[in-house]
């Protein structure tokens, strides 16, 4: 009798468990359906065009990131759905000047979105409200405390001014002479453009920031460092779409690793990988330590680190933490972005014979006039236009630069966007709008930037068109969050491009899918180049 009783109780208990599980599953299904229907029909963004899967879940956007589609996604979405596209349950992309003026205009209250939690250089603490709190360590890309950010920008302003970075040109000239000599030794051998532009970038940064060479030019390889950095953005972008998971990773790193593995965004560098950052940090620490020792002879090197050290001495609020972080940031923020710009510029100029000829003639004329000084120069208008046009077609950051709507929301183009919604403009789509950048915006044409130089009855109108293109370009970031190192980067890019095309005839082979893979960063891949020394 006891056995039958036990069996009866067990069966009854199992039935209860089964019913409870069934109810739980039905509850989950009901809640899921409720969320789906709400996001598709009743959500404030429900009428915004876009993929239905994107409206339902961020998984759609995350999948595009995992596939590396950030270079083309903006173009595809806006061409298919129009100037306003919903790409997530709570995210909208705009491709209009009216939206740009509000989202990226200083003082409008559109702060960087939670996407930038994933790009932060330091680990935050997570409080009981599940908010991420960062120490004040100077992180110009990811800083979202605007009071802190404005102070940091004001502090470093004098060091990165055009007038100050001009004095680094001699160091660049010396570095480029070594670079030209090394390229001559290749005797026109076909090489990978992306890797060599990265080598040149890191060598030039080493010369201007630290008066130091990382040895990449000597080795003839970047040891996989650009590829490592590029693939790192894949992981960061994915976690940027799921900022809650990024916070969870701070509490449990193993959870973050599992999530990254689930999405297959974990990058393992090859055995030959050799980072150059340890050398950068070692040199910075050595010089900072020496600068603090009493009786140390004055360091007369003309480089950026010396200026940052002097800034610390003059302005106590520019503390030791700021100094160390800013010194490294020149490499961290510069090595990828400048390499991307150089790769696009060389590829575009070299693949258009008429453009390459014009750039060469402009440099040769300046050389004959003994005027090969590039800093603060009003010359080289065509070379600058050729670079700007390459940056327009292939911006360093092709995807939307996400911002968060303020408490007042966003009211533009007939749409009312609620507060705390992620909004932005896709650089690669905005840069190809005919009403901003003129006819045939998909074509490479440096002439579109030379309008201001035209001397005829249309000069005023064409000058206005150039000002418009400058205003709505995201090549250097958006609004008050534009690149703080722009003056240094512009000098470096202009001088490298001018030197390469003055000293070499350049041939490139660009595969049709060179921009197929991109994340937060776009670097043309698979482009092969030959640097053929010019005679005379």
Under 8 Å between Cβ of 165 and 375 = yes
Structure confidence at residue 456 (pLDDT): 44
Structure confidence at residue 3 (pLDDT): 57
Higher-pLDDT residue of 471 and 297 is 471
Answer whether residue 141 is part of any domain.
no
Kindly tell me the burial class for residue 535, based on how many C-beta atoms sit within 10 Å of its own C-beta (0-12, 13-18, 19 or more): exposed
Using pLDDT thresholds of 50, 70 and 90, give the confidence band for residue 301: very high
Q: Whose CA is closest to 71, among 336, 399, 392? A: 399
Express each pLDDT in 408-428 by its tens digit: 999 999 999 999 999 999 999
Structure confidence at residue 17 (pLDDT): 74
The pTM of the full predicted model, rounded to 2 decimals, is 0.92
Residue 458 pLDDT more than 60?
no
CATH number assigned to the domain comprising residue 426 = 1.10.630.10
> What is the number of alpha carbons within 13 Å of residue 309 lying toward its C-beta?
21
d(CA 325, CA 328): 5
Using pLDDT thresholds of 50, 70 and 90, give the confidence band for residue 479: confident
* The three-state (H, E, C) secondary structure of 474-509, written as one string: CECECHHHCCCCHHHHHHHHHHHHHHHHHHEEEEEE
State the helix-helix crossing angle for 193-205 and 486-503, rounded to 10 degrees: 120
Answer whether residue 239 is part of any domain.
yes
Q: How many domains would you assign to the chain?
A: 1
Using pLDDT thresholds of 50, 70 and 90, give the confidence band for residue 84: very high
Structure confidence at residue 16 (pLDDT): 65
Answer whether residue 237 is part of any domain.
yes
Structure confidence at residue 174 (pLDDT): 96
H helical segments located in 397-477: 427-430, 434-437, 459-471
Residue 15 pLDDT more than 70?
no
The mean per-residue pLDDT over the stretch 164-183 comes to 96
Higher-pLDDT residue of 434 and 6 is 434
Residue 354 pLDDT more than 80?
yes
Structure confidence at residue 386 (pLDDT): 97
Answer whether residue 20 is part of any domain.
no
Under 8 Å between Cβ of 428 and 395 = yes
Higher-pLDDT residue of 181 and 299 is 181
Q: Whose CA is closest to 309, among 322, 297, 296? A: 322
Give the distance, in angstroms, between the CA of residue 287 and the centroid of all CA atoms in the same chain.
29
Structural domain of 222: 146-431+473-533
Answer whether residue 7 is part of any domain.
no
Structure confidence at residue 292 (pLDDT): 85
Burial code of 66-103, b = ≥16 C-beta within 10 A, e = fewer? bebbbbbbbbebbeebebbbbbbbbbbbbbbbebbebb
Answer whether residue 34 is part of any domain.
no
Structure confidence at residue 27 (pLDDT): 72
Express each pLDDT in 183-210 by its tens digit: 999 999 999 999 999 999 999 999 999 9
Q: Residue 483 annotated as binding?
A: yes
Answer whether residue 413 is part of any domain.
yes
Structure confidence at residue 295 (pLDDT): 77
Residue 69 pLDDT more than 50?
yes
- Average pLDDT over the chain reads 90
Using pLDDT thresholds of 50, 70 and 90, give the confidence band for residue 128: confident
Structure confidence at residue 293 (pLDDT): 85
Using pLDDT thresholds of 50, 70 and 90, give the confidence band for residue 461: very low
Express each pLDDT in 229-270 by its tens digit: 999 999 999 999 999 999 999 889 999 999 999 999 988 888
Express each pLDDT in 357-392 by its tens digit: 999 999 988 877 656 676 656 788 999 999 999 999
Residue 7 pLDDT more than 60?
no
Under 8 Å between Cβ of 92 and 51 = no
Structure confidence at residue 459 (pLDDT): 40
**Pseudo-torsion of CA 272, 273, 276, 282, nearest 10°?**
-90
Express each pLDDT in 303-345 by its tens digit: 999 999 999 999 999 999 999 999 999 999 999 999 999 999 9
The mean per-residue pLDDT over the stretch 72-86 comes to 96
Give the CA angle between residues 202, 65, 347 to the nearest 5°: 40
Structure confidence at residue 460 (pLDDT): 43
Answer whether residue 463 is part of any domain.
no
């Amino acid at each position: 009798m006891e056995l039958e009783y036990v069996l009866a109780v067990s069966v009854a208990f199992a039935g209860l468990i089964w019913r409870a599980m069934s109810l739980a599953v039905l509850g989950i299904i009901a809640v899921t359906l409720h969320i789906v229907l709400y996001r598709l029909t009743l959500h404030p963004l429900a009428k915004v065009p876009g993929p239905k899967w994107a409206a339902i879940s961020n998984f759609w956007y995350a999948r595009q990131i995992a596939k590396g589609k950030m270079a083309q996604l903006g173009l595809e979405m806006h061409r298919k759905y129009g100037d306003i596209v919903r790409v997530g349950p709570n995210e909208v992309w705009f491709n209009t000047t009216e939206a740009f003026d509000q989202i990226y205009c200083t003082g409008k209250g559109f702060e960087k979105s939670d996407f930038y939690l994933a790009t932060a250089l330091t680990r935050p603490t997570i409080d009981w409200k599940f908010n991420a709190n960062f120490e004040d360590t100077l992180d110009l890309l990811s800083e979202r405390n605007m009071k802190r950010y404005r102070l940091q920008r004001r502090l470093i302003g004098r060091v990165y001014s055009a007038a100050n970075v001009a004095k680094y040109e001699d160091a660049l000239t010396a570095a480029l002479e070594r670079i030209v000599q090394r390229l001559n030794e290749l005797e026109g051998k076909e090489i990978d453009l992306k890797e060599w532009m990265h080598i040149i970038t890191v060598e030039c940064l080493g010369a201007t920031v630290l008066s130091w060479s990382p040895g990449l030019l000597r080795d003839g390889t970047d040891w996989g460092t650009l590829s490592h950095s590029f693939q790192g953005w894949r992981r960061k972008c994915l976690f940027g779409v799921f900022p809650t998971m990024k916070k969870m990773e701070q509490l449990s790193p193993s959870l973050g690793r599992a999530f990254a593995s689930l999405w297959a965004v974990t990058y393992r560098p090859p055995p030959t990988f050799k980072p150059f950052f340890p050398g950068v940090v070692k040199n910075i620490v050595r010089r900072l330590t020496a600068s603090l020792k009493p009786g140390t002879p004055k360091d007369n090197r003309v480089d950026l680190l010396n200026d940052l050290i002097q800034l610390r001495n003059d302005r106590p609020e520019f503390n030791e933490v700021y100094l160390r972080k800013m010194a490294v940031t020149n490499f961290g923020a510069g090595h990828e972005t400048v390499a991307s710009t150089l790769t696009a510029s060389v590829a575009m100029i070299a693949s258009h014979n008429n453009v390459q000829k014009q750039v060469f003639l402009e440099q040769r004329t300046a050389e004959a006039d003994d005027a090969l000084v590039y800093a603060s120069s009003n010359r080289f208008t065509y070379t600058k236009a050729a670079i700007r046009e390459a940056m327009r077609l292939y911006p360093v950051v092709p995807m939307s630069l996400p911002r968060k709507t303020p408490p007042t929301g966003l009211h533009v183009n007939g749409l009312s966007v609620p507060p705390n919604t992620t909004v932005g403009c896709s650089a690669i789509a905005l840069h190809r709008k005919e009403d901003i950048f003129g006819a045939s915006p998909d074509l490479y044409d440096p002439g579109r930037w030379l309008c201001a130089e035209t001397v005829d009855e249309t000069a005023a109108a064409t000058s206005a068109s150039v000002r418009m293109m400058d205003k709505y370009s995201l090549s250097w970031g958006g609004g008050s969050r534009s690149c703080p190192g722009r003056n240094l980067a512009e000098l470096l890019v202009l001088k490298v491009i001018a030197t390469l095309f003055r000293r070499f005839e350049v041939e490139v082979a660009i595969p049709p899918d060179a921009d197929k893979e991109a994340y937060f960063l776009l670097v043309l891949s698979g482009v092969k180049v030959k640097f053929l020394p010019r005679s005379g």
